[in-house]
Structure 1
Amino acid sequence: MARILVVEDDGATAEAIAHELRAHGHDVTVAETGEAALAAAQEATLDALTLDRLLPDMDGLALLARLRATGVQAPVLMVSALGDVDQRIAGLRAGGDDYLIKPFAPSELAVRIEVLLRRTQQSVETLLQVGSIQLDLLRREARVRGTPVRLLQMEFKLLEFLMRNAGVTVSRRVLFEQVWNYHFDPGANLINVHVARLRRKLELPDVPSAIATVKGEGYRFDAV
């Protein structure tokens, strides 16, 4: 059970989110304003938050900055009708960990929260495993069904990022920023080349590739 704060000023949306998360066994508190959210965050240690961008008393990005400044490190799922690329980037750069566009299915929100909770748990571990693929972060070793796989530095970094976000579609822009630390597309098919090499090294007989291309969106790492 995780302690989750839902920051949402629309009563119907807040109730739908809270109901779905409680159905998954989580302890949920709802805050309808930024100030109420700040107060709730100080009363208990949170495991995750969902945060609406448009609140009656402050912008969600301003609230997120204040939460981080007060020491709240729990993962944050931004929830907003502001869905263009620039708005999503702004939310992630402000400290959000994921971004979900309204309208959405409550079940998808619950899955995204579970992914964020798993990622938080994995961040303190030295061994990542998704399906038959394993990464030893201390030894910098990769294994597929127990067989060692030699990876170059950037291939290892790319695989680690994809595994930490398993099941989530990651855009090319996010990969450039988080893996290569580029805030622009350098061209030359940089990502395509690295993904193709990584796929070949992770290939398993008669098993689909662990790295799926999501047309027009990016890449997703799946357990195989």
Structure 2
Amino acid sequence: MPPRRVLCVEDDRDTCEVLRFVMTDFDFVTVSTIAAAHKKIAEGDFDLYVLDNWLPDGSGVELCERIRASGSRSPIIFTSAIGQRQDIDIAMKAGADRYLVKPYEPETLVKTVKELLEQSSSLAFKS
């Protein structure tokens, strides 16, 4: 079975490098803007998305809404340094499955990704 595809939309290079290092079990693709994310998504589906909430060309919420509007049921994880309840609620209403507040341990993201992919696989199997 080929590795699961994960798209990470994150504008902080250091974060991307750390995540790439710990996400070796996955086909882990990183981009730094919403525009680049749209191009990658147009090239093929992803099994899971990791979205920063604040990006140079818009918000992760907007991207999340577009992913959901396209019919994708792939899990979406938000990551942000802002952990205010209002921001979390907005992301969850847009279609996010989880919201991690930075800084978080990279292993926490790996665990969350594996958990959500497992849940997603079992739901797809039941459908």
TM-score, with length taken from structure 2: 0.92
**Runs of 5+ unmatched residues, structure 2:** none
Fraction of identical pairs, as percent: 32
CA distance in 1 between partners of 2:38 and 2:68 (Å): 10
Relative contact order higher in (CA < 8 Å, ≥ 6 apart): 2
Query: Does 1:15 find its partner at 2:17?
Result: yes
In 2, are the aligned partners of 1:76 and 1:96 still within 8 Å (CA)?
yes
Q: Tell me, which stretches of 5 or more residues in structure 1 are unaligned?
A: 127-224
- Residue 73 of structure 1 deviates from its aligned partner by 2.5
Give the Cα separation in 1 of the matches to 2:61 and 2:105. 23
CA-atom RMSD in angstroms: 1.2
- 1:20-169, aligned counterparts within 5 Å? 20-22=22-24, 25-126=25-126
* Distance (whole Å) between structure 2 residues aligned to residue 45 and residue 85 of structure 1: 30
TM-score, normalised to structure 1, is 0.53
Q: 1:72: Cα distance to partner?
A: 2.9
Tell me by how many angstroms 1:122 deviates: 1.6
Deviation at residue 49 of structure 1 after TM alignment: 0.9
- Higher mean alpha-carbon deviation, 116-125 vs 49-58, is at 116-125
Q: Match of 2:15, as an amino acid?
A: T
Give, in whole Å, the separation in 2 of the partners of 1:36 and 1:68. Answer: 17
Structure in which a larger fraction of residues adopt helix: 2
Paired letter, 2:69: A
How far off its partner does 1:125 sit? Answer: 4.0
Task: Give the structure with higher Rg (CA).
Answer: 1
CA distance in 2 between counterparts of 1:18 and 1:59 reads 22
Q: Distance in 2 between matches of 1:124 and 1:60?
A: 25
How many equivalent residue pairs?
Answer: 124
The superposition leaves residues 147-193 of structure 1 with CA deviations (integer Å, 9 ceiling, x where unpaired) of xxxxxxxxxxxxxxxxxxxxxxxxxxxxxxxxxxxxxxxxxxxxxxx
